[in-house]
Each structure stands twice: as structure tokens, then as C-alpha cells.
Amino acid sequence: MITRLAAVFAGASLFLIASTLPVQAASYWRMSIFANYVGVGADRHWVEVCDKEADGVGVSGTFYFSSGSPVKVGDGNGSAAGCGNRTFSGTVIGVEACWNGADIVCDYRSVPS
């Protein structure tokens, strides 16, 4: 009886903890370029670019908007802790993520609305 009661309390505790955590998929969209990534917040105004590889190769993201010119954002500190981020007034509709090595590798994706 005690083990059953402990299991019920443990399950209820896990449910309470899980229900208070933010839902990543609903608040943030991300695409990878090798081990690096670019991301767009749920508001589609906040963006980030993260270089996660200590390989001496930079990563950048070019963000496209519903109106206006695209803007390029990089991770200024390379693979050190922290990412490059900006907030724009325009709505991000697409991202081109680039790995800027000897051979530049880029991938474009539309940001889901």
C-alpha cells in the first residue's frame, strides 16, 4: 500500500513539474547546419545564431522578412558560450543558415507560421 501511494505521489509530482515547463516546439523554431543552428522565436521577430563547433569555421543566418531587405546575423564569439541574437520589427518568414568554411554550405527554409 505504501509503495503504491509513493508511486502515485511520484507520478503526480512529475506531471506537475512537466506541466510547468515551457513547450519548446510551441515557442521556438530551429534549423541545424551540421552541429550548429539558427533559431526564430514564436513571435517571429527574435532570432539567434549558434556556433556549437570549435572548428574555426563561422556560422551565419540570413533572415528574410515579409517586407524589407534580408539581414545577416552571426555568432560573434564563435563556439564560445552564448549565441548571436537580434530582435527585428519585421516578421521573419525564411532563414538561410550558412557554414562559412572553405566551401560555404547554406540551406534555406521557410519559417512555419
pLDDT digits (tens, 9 = 90+) for 50-67: 999 999 999 999 999 999
The amino acid occupying position 56 is: G
Identify whether the C-beta of residue 63 lies closer than 8 Å to the C-beta of residue 95: yes
Q: What is the pLDDT of residue 113?
A: 84
Quote the distance between the C-alpha of residue 30 and its chain's center: 4
Report the helix count and the strand count for the chain, using DSSP H and E.
Answer: 2, 8
Which of 98, 34, 99, 100 has the alpha carbon at shortest distance from 108? 98
Indicate the pTM of the whole model: 0.75
CA distances (Å), origin 52, targets 4, 6, 86: 44, 41, 18
Q: Is the pLDDT of residue 29 over 70?
A: yes
Of the pLDDT bands very low, low, confident and very high (cuts 50, 70, 90), residue 6 is: very low
